[in-house]
Amino acid sequence: MTEAGLRVDHVTKRFGSADTEVVAVRDVSLQVKPGEVVLIMGPSGSGKTTLLLMLGALLKPTEGTIALGDLELSAMSEGKLPDIRLRHFGFIFQDFNLLSALSVQDNVAFAAELTGVSRGVARSKAAALLTELGLDHRLRFPPEKLSGGEKQRVAIARALVNDPALILADEPTANLDSSHGRETMRLLREIAQKRGRSVVIVSHDTRIKEIADRVLWLEDGEFTNAVEMATDPVCGMAVERDVAIAGDRDGQTYYFCARGCRDEFLAGVAGPP
Amino acid sequence: MTGVAGAVPFRSAASALRLGMRNLFQDRLRFALSVAGVGLSLMLVLFMLGIRAGALRSAVVYLDNAPGTVEVLPPGGRSTAAGSAQFLGPETVAAVAGTPGVEAVTPVLLTMGFSDLHGTKAVIKLVGYDAALGGGPWKLASGRVPAADGEVVLDRVLANRHGLGMGDAFEIGGIQLTIVGLSNETSSWTGSYAFVRKGMVEALLLAPGAASFVLVTPEPGTSRDELMARLRAIDGTNVLLKSDVMANDQEVVAGIFDQVILLMVGAAFVVGALVVGMVIYTATNERRAEYGILKAIGARNAVLYRVVACQALVAAGVGSVVGVGFSYAMGWVVMNARPQFLVVIEPPAIGATLAAGVVMALAGGLFPARAAARLEPAEVFRR
Ligand SMILES: Nc1ncnc2c1ncn2[C@@H]1O[C@H](COP(=O)(O)OP(=O)(O)OP(=O)(O)O)[C@@H](O)[C@H]1O
Ligand SMILES: [Mg+2]
């Protein structure tokens, strides 16, 4: 994995043609760094899912480019995309979408087996991940016997089993009660911090803001400044102006992720951007 | 960043099959229904083929058990299945018997008759034969062969059906006969055999000394071809190998049976394929979301094909085996209830049926498998 993470440049997606044309995503640019949690919010029909599908190589942009490290997804042939998705992306869905005929452990192992590792290796990898996620007592359970939160943890384990660079989640908390939703959010945050994965979440759920490094507002297919963003000049993290810590230097206002960054910056240890 | 892998690895193929099996067995009732559907349709196929094979066998059961390898028929005669109005005259029979290289002759006078039994007409193949020369019943269930005019050996199945036994009277073509023996293996779908002395049939047909055909046993060491040439030289004969006549007899039966049987077999096959197709299609449709997820997380189309196709194959495979079992059971039931029907289930027919089951699975599974492979993975994100 190169340091560059995911890079989206001037991506547009149109559906239909002529008078029935819908522009679902309009000239969107975005970068997601390793370890970063990005939340994309916006009203219904604003193009969130469409954007996420393009990020996950499930949908081709009409215009623009999407690159993961040095892999340019938007230029790849259809036949190569399944393998890219298998090895570099992890998907988490609103409905969990586990395979009902397989046990919890086999659900996770199946995704690993698709890459060609042996069943034994796949199953032990699955067991290890599920244990980390606190599901060691549920390995042999059929998915239907799990609570919503447990199902979503299984889905998270499945998304992680092939060590993807990027986790993509569409409304991961929509079908969960608030405590399970919170637990899922905590896990996603942890995945980014401890494992250095990028996490892109699409959601209506404002609680997710708490764990996001960045919140982007999509409206009518375009990012708007409903949330004004700024970049911390010290650590480079994107911060919301409303909630960030502000500081003035040389007659200009800067925004910081934390007091430490501001103090460092104002003390002149770190230079201006 | 790792490179892009090529074809589906073998291991993921195995896991696809495992998933297919799990999916198939998760809904037991549906699995049972598909097995039953395939089983019943293949039972019908095998049973029809069994009836056909039985009819073919019973069409030649007489010639098969009669002596001789060469058959002399009246001119133009090719088959003994259709009761011929033409006979070989006494001189011809004598000339055949006197031909060099002939070890033995078995002249047979055969006619079809009706017998009124309890108000229903039974078709009787009345065989007139000379006890000294052979051509009589080959397996007696009880009694003895006819020793005098007016005595008859009757097919046991027909006799049983009509409550006839040893010593009972039996009338055919206005002639009164007494049953002195009952024979096995002499019932067929076209009629039951009855055996009397040849003179009785000659009298019935007003054809003294005549024969429907003469079966010839060549002397050992004689060239069969030369003997047949000599027999052909006799005026008013048509000479064939007995095996060829048997083949012709079977052809006549096949001609009557095959179109109907083929139609039924074809229909049963289509029904079976539709059952597999319907069951697997609905099962696949119910799992649209799951299969869409598989594609979204990176399963190739080949994986989806395998997951679905193996379900069709297993359902049809188990159904085929069950179908073979069903058809044996059905044959047994039918032959016990209606012994005049011979149902012969032959190994080649079983092989063909099992193969048909596989083709059925592929035909029925193809459409659902394609539907699964064509699923748009993006669809699972939208509802
Ligand atoms: N396959 C498609 N064909 C035509 N139009 C589409 C298609 N997919 C999405 N759209 C349209 O694109 C727009 C954006 O849809 P999208 O699903 O991305 O919105 P969303 O932000 O995810 O909405 P929601 O919050 O309701 O999930 C909508 O107007 C939708 O109707
Ligand atoms: Mg959506």
pLDDT at residue B119, rounded to an integer: 77
Do A122 and A106 touch, CB atoms closer than 8 A? no
* Residue whose token pair is 């001609």: B255
Atom of ligand 1 nearest to the CA of A46: 21
* Residue whose token pair is 């055999």: B193
Is A115 contained in some domain?
no
Do A30 and A8 touch, CB atoms closer than 8 A? yes
Chain B interface with A: residues with Cβ < 8 Å: 1-2, 4-5, 9-12, 14-15, 19, 22-23, 25-26, 287, 289-290, 292-300, 303, 377-378, 380-383
Q: Which among A53, A76, A152, A97 has a CA at the least distance from the CA of B376?
A: A53
Put simply, the chain A residues between 31 and 50 with a CB less than 8 A from any chain B CB are 49
Same domain flag for A225 and A262: no
Q: State the number of CA atoms in the 13 A half-sphere of B173 facing the CB.
A: 16
Whether residues A93 and B298 touch (CB distance < 8 A) is answered with: no
Shortest-distance Cα residue to atom 6 of ligand 1: A15
Do B356 and A23 touch, CB atoms closer than 8 A? no
Evaluated on CA atoms B33, B291, A83, B305, the torsion sign reads positive
Same domain flag for A88 and A179: yes
Distances (CA, A) of A258 to A188, A244, B86, B266: 21, 8, 117, 78
What single-letter DSSP state applies at residue A234?
Answer: T
Using the mean position of ligand 1's atoms as its centre, give its distance from the Cα of residue A204 in Å.
Answer: 14
Instruction: Write out pLDDT tens, residues B62-84.
Output: 999 999 999 999 998 888 765 56
Strand pairing report for A245-249 and B191-197 = unpaired
Give the list of residues 6+ apart from residue B286 with CB closer than 8 angstroms, or none. none
Most ligand 1 atoms within 8 A of CB, residue of B381, B382, B383 to mutate: B382
Rounded to two decimals, the ipTM of the complex is 0.78
The mean per-residue pLDDT over the stretch A44-67 comes to 92
Same domain flag for A172 and A264: no
Structure tokens at B311: 């379900």
pLDDT at residue A227, rounded to an integer: 59
Using the mean position of ligand 2's atoms as its centre, give its distance from the Cα of residue A91 in Å.
Answer: 14
pLDDT at residue B1, rounded to an integer: 39
Q: Which residues pair with A120 in a beta bridge?
A: none
The mean per-residue pLDDT over the stretch A172-193 comes to 88
Range of the domain at A55: 6-97+164-231
Cα angle for residues B11, B17, B18 (degrees, 5° grid): 90
Most ligand 1 atoms within 8 A of CB, residue of A26, A40, A48 to mutate: A48
Q: What is the mean pLDDT of each run of 10 residues along chain B (383 residues)?
A: 46 83 91 91 88 89 94 88 77 94 95 83 92 94 93 94 92 90 88 94 92 95 92 93 94 88 88 86 88 91 90 91 91 85 86 86 86 82 67
pLDDT at residue A125, rounded to an integer: 95
Least CA distance to B301: which residue of chain A?
Answer: A82
pLDDT at residue B6, rounded to an integer: 46
Write the burial class of residue B233 (CB in 10 Å: 0-12 exposed, 13-18 middle, 19+ buried).
exposed
Distance in Å, alpha carbon of B366 to nearest chain A alpha carbon? 21
Is A113 contained in some domain?
no
Distances (CA, A) of A125 to A10, A111, A113, B319: 38, 11, 10, 38
**Residue in B4, B25, B299 closest to A84 by CB:** B4
Is A105 contained in some domain?
no
Give the list of residues 6+ apart from residue A119 with CB closer than 8 angstroms, or none. A109, A113, B11, B14, B15
Do B46 and B272 touch, CB atoms closer than 8 A? no
Alpha-carbon span A78 to A62, nearest angstrom = 14
- Which chain A residues are Cβ-neighbours of B290 within 8 angstroms? 97, 99-100
What single-letter DSSP state applies at residue A206?
Answer: G
Same domain flag for A207 and A171: yes
Is A271 contained in some domain?
yes
Atom of ligand 1 nearest to the CA of A42: 21
- Which chain B residues are Cβ-neighbours of A97 within 8 angstroms? 289-290, 292-293, 380
pLDDT at residue A55, rounded to an integer: 93
Strand pairing report for A71-72 and A63-68 = antiparallel
What single-letter DSSP state applies at residue A149?
Answer: H
Same domain flag for A168 and A272: no
Evaluated on CA atoms A186, A192, A194, A197, the torsion sign reads positive
Alpha-carbon span B312 to B363, nearest angstrom = 9
Same domain flag for A29 and A55: yes
| A99 in reach of chain B (CB within 8 A) | yes
Same domain flag for A273 and A185: no
Q: Is A49 in the pocket of ligand 1 (CB under 6 A)?
A: yes
Residue type, B369: A
Instruction: Write out pLDDT tens, residues B249-294.
Output: 999 889 888 898 889 888 988 888 888 888 888 888 888 889 989 9
Alpha-carbon span A211 to A216, nearest angstrom = 13
Q: Is A45 in the pocket of ligand 1 (CB under 6 A)?
A: yes
Q: Which among A113, A99, A187, A188 has a CA at the least distance from the CA of A141?
A: A99
Same domain flag for A203 and A245: no
Helix and strand totals (H; E) in chain A: 7, 14
Shortest-distance Cα residue to atom 28 of ligand 1: A45
Alpha-carbon span A126 to A197, nearest angstrom = 18
Same domain flag for A93 and A30: yes
Name the pLDDT band for A226 (thresholds 50, 70, 90): low
Alpha-carbon span A155 to A143, nearest angstrom = 10
Other Cβ atoms within 10 Å of A264 Cβ, number: 16
Q: Which backbone phi and psi does B121 adopt, to 5 degrees?
A: -90, 125
Whether residues A95 and B289 touch (CB distance < 8 A) is answered with: yes
Chain CA centroid to CA A240, Å: 18
Q: Is A48 in the pocket of ligand 1 (CB under 6 A)?
A: yes
Chain CA centroid to CA A183, Å: 16
Is A266 contained in some domain?
yes
Same domain flag for A66 and A80: yes
Using the mean position of ligand 1's atoms as its centre, give its distance from the Cα of residue A159 in Å.
Answer: 24
Each domain of chain B, given as residue ranges in start order, spans: 2-59+253-382, 89-235
Distances (CA, A) of B103 to A187, A223, B188, B221, B225: 99, 107, 31, 11, 15
Residue type, A57: A
Q: Looking at residue A91, which CATH number applies to its domain?
A: 3.40.50.300
Alpha-carbon span A223 to A216, nearest angstrom = 7
Is A107 contained in some domain?
no
Do B210 and B90 touch, CB atoms closer than 8 A? yes
- Which chain B residues are Cβ-neighbours of A117 within 8 angstroms? 11
Instruction: Write out pLDDT tens, residues A232-264.
Output: 888 877 677 777 788 888 888 888 888 888 888
Using the mean position of ligand 1's atoms as its centre, give its distance from the Cα of residue A148 in Å.
Answer: 26
Shortest-distance Cα residue to atom 11 of ligand 1: A24
Using the mean position of ligand 2's atoms as its centre, give its distance from the Cα of residue B205 in Å.
Answer: 93
Is A141 contained in some domain?
no
Q: What is the 3-state secondary structure (H, E, C) of A26-73?
A: EEEEEEECCCCEEEEECCCCCCHHHHHHHHCCCCCCCEEEEEECCEEH
Do A138 and A98 touch, CB atoms closer than 8 A? no
* pTM, two decimal places: 0.73
Same domain flag for A227 and A247: no
Shortest-distance Cα residue to atom 16 of ligand 1: A47
Instruction: Write out pLDDT tens, residues A2-18.
Output: 455 899 999 999 998 88
Whether residues A119 and B14 touch (CB distance < 8 A) is answered with: yes
Is A184 contained in some domain?
yes
Number of domains present in the structure of chain A: 2
Q: Collapsing DSSP states into helix, strand and coil, what is residue A177?
A: coil
Q: Is A50 in the pocket of ligand 1 (CB under 6 A)?
A: yes
pLDDT at residue B4, rounded to an integer: 41
Other Cβ atoms within 10 Å of B339 Cβ, number: 15
Other Cβ atoms within 10 Å of A272 Cβ, number: 10
Instruction: Write out pLDDT tens, residues B149-161.
Output: 999 999 999 999 8
| Closest ligand to Cα A40 | 1
pLDDT at residue A174, rounded to an integer: 87
Structure tokens at A233: 């000049």
Alpha-carbon span B177 to B27, nearest angstrom = 65
Q: What is the 3-state secondary structure (H, E, C) of B192-241?
A: EEEEEEHHHHHHHHCCCCCECEEEEEECCCCCHHHHHHHHHCCCCCEEEE
Structure tokens at A28: 């969107």
Put simply, the chain A residues between 165 and 194 with a CB less than 8 A from any chain B CB are 165, 170
Strand pairing report for B102-117 and B120-129 = antiparallel
Distances (CA, A) of B32 to A152, A228, B29: 33, 61, 5
Helix locations, B77-131, DSSP H: 90-97
